[in-house]
Chains A and B, each alone.
Chain A
Amino acid sequence: MYKHSLTWLLGPLASTSLAISDFSSGSMLFLCMVVLYYFCFVRHRQTAIFVTLISILLFVRTEMVIMSNETMLTGGESVVTGTVVDGPLRDGSQADMTMRLSHGESLLVRISLEERTDVEKLQTLSPAAFCHVNGQLTSPHPSSNFYAFDYSHYLNTQGIHWILETSLRDLSCRTGSSWYPSDIIKKWRHAGIQKIQTAFNHELQGIAAALIFGERHLLDTTVEEAYQQLGLIHLLAVSGLHVGLISGSLYYLLLRCGVTKETAENILLIILPVYIILAGAAPSVVRAASMVMLYILLKKWKKHHYALDVLVFFALCLLFYSPYYLVHVGFQLSFIVSAALLLSGQVIQKTPRVLISLTITGIAQIAALPIILYHFYEFSLLSLVFNFFFIPFISFVVLPSVFILYFSFLLLPEVAEVLSIPLSLIVEHTHSLLLAAAQWKAFQLILGKPSIFISAGLAFSALWLFYRFDRYRYHKKAVLPGVLWMAVLGVQWIEPFFDKYGYVTFLDVGQGDSIVIELPFRQAVYVIDTGGAISYEQEAWEERKVPYNPGKSVVVPYLKAKGISTIDKLIITHGHVDHYGGVLAVADNIVVRQVMYGHGRAFSEEEQELLSNIHHQNIPIQFVKQGDGWKERSAVFHVLSPKGTEESGNHRSIVLKAAFGGVTWLFTGDLEKEGEHTLLETFPSLKADMIKIAHHGSSTSTTEPFISQVQPKMAFITAGRCNHFGHPHTETINTLQAHRIKTFRTDTQGAIKVTFDNHAPVHLEHKRSANDAPIDECK
């Protein structure tokens, strides 16, 4: 029946994905293919009936979970009581923890800390505490940008529908009142992580917490990103090799202590479930630890089963327990890669010794690629090489060392201090190597989010490649599927160059601007401004690990998802942080050919800092003024402002008039009344079909005479939700309404994308519709 263990998984997988994606066309197609496959290849009637039954069971279960995943709260409650199940994890002046309410629903509690002393007070809070919380319920915002991480959906999959905003003073907790075993273990886990935070030095904290407790919260975000970009992130997840090493060494240790094999196995069977929760209960830990446990049990019962069958069994169990695992990246990667490696057992055995680890890494990479591309839009060519060196390094050097260090910190803190010095030196240097390598953009292939056909093509050609390789090895017969696989990747890569449509996207970067212009056939990509968050003076303890930067969390993901690896011109309209704040984050990830900046006599201090930073990245800066312009095929761009005599600030905004896609566009930056007046004087016949309203819709711009002259058909306002300035001002909206101009706003509609071909705009879409959560609840 070996042949059927994967067959058993296919049907349930298809039915679960059908239910979870709410009958999307992709999952329908998948289901049809699976049914066809069953018709053609499953000959045993019993198997067919059995698979159908499991599939129906999982479908019903998924539907039930989705239907019961609804909130019982109305949003008006101000006092809730429940048990802390996770956290609190502090980031600057804010800490998040998860609470389980008495009726079973989960809740994210966001505690804002007001004073320095609150930080110590927070440490008394831990899982298993029973709390009364006074606060304000808010619903998490659904994502308002294309391809952006959907925080609200992410919380929903965890059964969380509300965020309770509160301060430490409005919390009253009784510690340790829950007697659920899992709550108590989570309490230990929390204490363990806090121990790491206090005892370990800065370099080791992050990696120690990740490797021991599966908690990446302490890890430097830039380091974590470097791991992810280089395809090494799986090393920071507690996974198969990891659990194997830990349970193997524990077993060996027990035997050396004189324990019998049988007792040692029993001890492992008790410890592993505890370890699952201690290590954060991510799908990879659950899978790995459960497989070790089942392996021991089967050995005890003298039964023989192939690891693959056990894997399939666990996948089905986990999906039944929580169908939302299906959309969990960790679940997908963990199961696909382990299945691929288990299936390659014979290939690996027959591989010459020197090539073994390279083959293993290669197989894992190829198997994981469709998923990596789907979630991260890019992969690193260095991944293979880095994995080759880093898998043994992390598994056999860092992992045992941090465990030894952790226990020595518990027993002999003085010795541990000394021991940690060499290790932290090694880790520090390897991390700086990783950070440097993640910056080598030549090796970072940004391919964009693959369509369902590309993903399927990649998966099928990889399957074929593995089959041929398994059967013929390095024979020429394995070449064809290899070439096909590369061809599919190639298609994904060149696809944008055959797209006859161009796009102008007004991203929702909060209060700020960021506009991405992609010309048809990817002839050029221009980005106007990158958004940016204004930072306030903060004390050291208040500072976030990584301050919010829309350049990084909105602009870069959008560009990567569209497969944009090069920006031809990055136009920074003027020197305010809500326009340039994300420049460096963008330049760190995407190749910028040229930066355009307004010509002026003197530059403010922050402008000088910005320009020198850009200069240090070896990006040429072109200072433009009225009369400058450029052409790209049929697209024409003219700089209308500044003249070069304005003062730095809004007045010196670059105003760009462009003609492409059959219409004329006016991008005005933060131009003020005076600037508009000058523009009208210089260009008395200025007209544009599409206009980006200046200065986020402030009443200090967009004057009546200006709009009367320009006569736009559509206007786009980029403003932050509920911003402090009250943008866009009612006067502006009224002016636009009086002229019957169709107006689109990023604060209410999220990102706005205009699709055009060479002759005319063909389509306009915005990320949020009016029926999404109400927005006009600004206080």
Chain B
Amino acid sequence: MLKASMSEDMHCCVWCLEKKSQAPSWQTIWPVSQDNYLCNTCAEKLVPVGITTCSYCSRPREKPGICYDCERIEKDPDWRGLLDHNVSLYRYNHAMQELIAQWKYRGDAALALIFQQNISQLYEKRYANYIPVPIPLSPQRLHERGFNQAEQLASWTQRPARCLSLLRLRQKQYLFPVTKALTRVLHEEKQSKKTRRERLAATRNPFAFTPAQEVSVNSKNIVLFDDIFTTGMTLRKAAKVLKEHGAKRVCSITLARG
């Protein structure tokens, strides 16, 4: 839908709206090349988390292992073992902050397209038999924004059918539909406005389980989708609800690692 609404040959960068210089190169003639939504300048602003990260929370580290925060949380009996691990795509730098602001708060939904290819590749490669579940918004927030950014991200796990995608049939049978297994029952202040202490202290779980129409989560693996991972509290709370309802493993894919 989003894609179809855009002009057919995308001459402009979706972020800065400048005309892209798309001189022909080996990458552009490669049949399965990346969909390029960004101009080169914008593309360079997004920094991937890197190869050596904390194996729990995807925080960039100098050597492989587990970061101090994760160690602390894994010792906490309340939070231990809820979220099996998190994978983030990019660092939460200044540019990413701006991009997310433009996307979420100023309603530029098209920006989600940038991450389509990376997310769908990651999902197919590592979470192909996981049920994608987006972190929900409260009805008020959804009304304010008009769309749920996490839902957009989760929707990239669903590949559009192509005329001859014979090669992908094998993988397709493992793909689960996006499942809205959670609802937000508590309308609270934005996480981004809270400090770490406040986040950790908020003990009431804002999420509730909704028996999903699509598939049952019972003894299934689940992958959660959200935009930013900062302390991981939101995701852990969501995971808690899912685990209480019988989910086997709960992991998460997030765009940026704060």
Q: Are A346 and B23 in contact (CB under 8 A)?
A: yes
A sample of 7 inter-chain contacts (CB < 8 A) reads A3-B28, A6-B29, A39-B163, A43-B162, A345-B25, A467-B26, A467-B27
Q: Are A40 and B29 in contact (CB under 8 A)?
A: no
- Complex CA–CA separation, A309 to B27 (angstroms): 16
Question: Which A-chain residue is minimally distant from B34 (CB atoms)?
Answer: A471
CB distance from B40 to the nearest CB of A (A): 9
- Complex CA–CA separation, A6 to B8 (angstroms): 18
Q: Are A40 and B164 in contact (CB under 8 A)?
A: yes
Q: Are B26 and A343 in contact (CB under 8 A)?
A: yes
Cβ contacts under 8 Å, A424 to chain B: none
Q: Are B163 and A343 in contact (CB under 8 A)?
A: no
Cβ contacts under 8 Å, A44 to chain B: 8
Q: Are B8 and A347 in contact (CB under 8 A)?
A: no
Cβ contacts under 8 Å, B32 to chain A: 41
A347/B29 contact (C-beta < 8 A), A39-B164, A44-B8 known? no
- Complex CA–CA separation, A133 to B124 (angstroms): 76
Question: Which A-chain residue is minimally distant from B166 (CB atoms)?
Answer: A40
Q: Are B23 and A306 in contact (CB under 8 A)?
A: yes
Question: CB within 8 Å of A: which of B1-50?
Answer: 8-9, 22-33
Q: Are B23 and A40 in contact (CB under 8 A)?
A: no
Question: Which A-chain residue is minimally distant from B29 (CB atoms)?
Answer: A6
Cβ contacts under 8 Å, B33 to chain A: 3
Q: Are B25 and A41 in contact (CB under 8 A)?
A: no
Cβ contacts under 8 Å, B29 to chain A: 3, 6, 343
Does residue A72 face the partner (Cβ distance < 8 Å to B)?
no
Cβ contacts under 8 Å, B162 to chain A: 40, 43
Cβ contacts under 8 Å, A466 to chain B: 26
CB distance from A342 to the nearest CB of B (A): 6
Cβ contacts under 8 Å, B31 to chain A: 37, 40-41
Question: CB within 8 Å of B: which of A457-474?
Answer: 463, 466-467, 469-471
Question: Which B-chain residue is minimally distant from A6 (CB atoms)?
Answer: B29
CB distance from A305 to the nearest CB of B (A): 11
Q: Are A470 and B27 in contact (CB under 8 A)?
A: yes
Q: Are B25 and A344 in contact (CB under 8 A)?
A: yes
Cβ contacts under 8 Å, B28 to chain A: 2-3
Q: Are A347 and B163 in contact (CB under 8 A)?
A: no
Q: Are B164 and A342 in contact (CB under 8 A)?
A: no
Q: Are A467 and B24 in contact (CB under 8 A)?
A: no
- Complex CA–CA separation, A656 to B204 (angstroms): 101
Q: Are B30 and A467 in contact (CB under 8 A)?
A: yes
- Complex CA–CA separation, A343 to B162 (angstroms): 27
Question: CB within 8 Å of B: which of A271-325?
Answer: 306, 308-309
CB distance from B229 to the nearest CB of A (A): 27
Q: Are A342 and B24 in contact (CB under 8 A)?
A: yes
Cβ contacts under 8 Å, A143 to chain B: none
Cβ contacts under 8 Å, A182 to chain B: none
Question: CB within 8 Å of A: which of B150-166?
Answer: 162-164
Cβ contacts under 8 Å, A469 to chain B: 26
Extra contacts, 17 of them, besides A3-B28, A5-B24 (Cβ < 8 A), are A2-B23, A2-B28, A40-B31, A40-B163, A41-B31, A43-B163, A306-B23, A306-B24, A344-B26, A345-B24, A345-B25, A346-B23, A463-B26, A467-B26, A467-B27, A467-B30, A469-B26
- Complex CA–CA separation, A345 to B21 (angstroms): 12
Does residue A1 face the partner (Cβ distance < 8 Å to B)?
yes
Cβ contacts under 8 Å, A470 to chain B: 25-27
Interface of A is mostly: helix
- Complex CA–CA separation, A194 to B9 (angstroms): 55
- Complex CA–CA separation, A39 to B163 (angstroms): 7
Q: Per-residue 0/1 for A42-74: is the Cβ within 8 Å of any B Cβ (1 yes, 0 no)?
A: 011000000000000000000000000000000
Question: Which B-chain residue is minimally distant from A464 (CB atoms)?
Answer: B30
Cβ contacts under 8 Å, A2 to chain B: 9, 22-24, 28
Question: Which B-chain residue is minimally distant from A471 (CB atoms)?
Answer: B27
Cβ contacts under 8 Å, B23 to chain A: 2, 306, 345-346
Of A43, A308, A346, A463, the most chain B CB neighbours within 10 A belong to: A346
- Complex CA–CA separation, A308 to B24 (angstroms): 7
Q: Are B30 and A1 in contact (CB under 8 A)?
A: no
- Complex CA–CA separation, A466 to B29 (angstroms): 11
Q: Per-residue 0/1 for B107-127: is the Cβ within 8 Å of any A Cβ (1 yes, 0 no)?
A: 000000000000000000000
- Complex CA–CA separation, A308 to B164 (angstroms): 28
Question: Which B-chain residue is minimally distant from A470 (CB atoms)?
Answer: B26
CB distance from B248 to the nearest CB of A (A): 35
Cβ contacts under 8 Å, B22 to chain A: 2
**Complex A-B, nearest 8 residue pairs according to Cβ-Cβ distance, in ascending order:** A470-B26, A308-B24, A466-B26, A41-B31, A467-B26, A39-B164, A346-B25, A467-B30
Of B8, B28, B32, the most chain A CB neighbours within 10 A belong to: B28
- Complex CA–CA separation, A343 to B25 (angstroms): 4
CB distance from A308 to the nearest CB of B (A): 4
- Complex CA–CA separation, A755 to B31 (angstroms): 43
User: In the complex, which of the residues A40, A43, A343 contacts B24, with contact meaning CB atoms closer than 8 Å?
Assistant: A343
- Complex CA–CA separation, A342 to B25 (angstroms): 7
Cβ contacts under 8 Å, B8 to chain A: 44
- Complex CA–CA separation, A144 to B163 (angstroms): 50
Question: Which B-chain residue is minimally distant from A463 (CB atoms)?
Answer: B26
Question: Which B-chain residue is minimally distant from A39 (CB atoms)?
Answer: B164
Cβ contacts under 8 Å, B24 to chain A: 2, 5-6, 306, 308-309, 342-343, 345
CB distance from A339 to the nearest CB of B (A): 9
CB distance from A4 to the nearest CB of B (A): 9
CB distance from A350 to the nearest CB of B (A): 11
Of B28, B29, B163, the most chain A CB neighbours within 10 A belong to: B29
Question: Which B-chain residue is minimally distant from A312 (CB atoms)?
Answer: B24
- Complex CA–CA separation, A306 to B27 (angstroms): 15
CB distance from B39 to the nearest CB of A (A): 13
- Complex CA–CA separation, A2 to B29 (angstroms): 8
Cβ contacts under 8 Å, A43 to chain B: 162-163
Question: Which B-chain residue is minimally distant from A37 (CB atoms)?
Answer: B31
CB distance from B159 to the nearest CB of A (A): 14
Cβ contacts under 8 Å, A3 to chain B: 28-29, 33
Cβ contacts under 8 Å, A346 to chain B: 23, 25
Cβ contacts under 8 Å, B27 to chain A: 467, 470-471
Of B22, B23, B32, the most chain A CB neighbours within 10 A belong to: B23
Cβ contacts under 8 Å, B163 to chain A: 39-40, 43
Cβ contacts under 8 Å, A1 to chain B: 9
- Complex CA–CA separation, A306 to B28 (angstroms): 13
Cβ contacts under 8 Å, A40 to chain B: 31, 162-164
CB distance from B180 to the nearest CB of A (A): 30
Question: CB within 8 Å of A: which of B114-148?
Answer: none
- Complex CA–CA separation, A469 to B9 (angstroms): 26
- Complex CA–CA separation, A347 to B163 (angstroms): 33
Question: CB within 8 Å of B: which of A340-382?
Answer: 342-347
CB distance from B5 to the nearest CB of A (A): 16
- Complex CA–CA separation, A346 to B28 (angstroms): 11
CB distance from B166 to the nearest CB of A (A): 8
Question: Which B-chain residue is minimally distant from A1 (CB atoms)?
Answer: B9
Question: Which A-chain residue is minimally distant from B30 (CB atoms)?
Answer: A467
Question: CB within 8 Å of A: which of B52-76?
Answer: none
Q: Per-residue 0/1 for B216-228: is the Cβ within 8 Å of any A Cβ (1 yes, 0 no)?
A: 0000000000000
Cβ contacts under 8 Å, B25 to chain A: 343-347, 470
Cβ contacts under 8 Å, A308 to chain B: 24
Question: Which B-chain residue is minimally distant from A363 (CB atoms)?
Answer: B26
CB distance from A188 to the nearest CB of B (A): 38
Question: CB within 8 Å of A: which of B219-242?
Answer: none
- Complex CA–CA separation, A471 to B31 (angstroms): 14
- Complex CA–CA separation, A134 to B164 (angstroms): 64
A347/B26 contact (C-beta < 8 A), A39-B163, A40-B164 known? yes
Cβ contacts under 8 Å, A347 to chain B: 25-26
CB distance from B62 to the nearest CB of A (A): 21
- Complex CA–CA separation, A622 to B163 (angstroms): 70
- Complex CA–CA separation, A469 to B23 (angstroms): 16
Of B8, B9, B27, the most chain A CB neighbours within 10 A belong to: B27
Question: Which B-chain residue is minimally distant from A469 (CB atoms)?
Answer: B26
CB distance from A36 to the nearest CB of B (A): 8
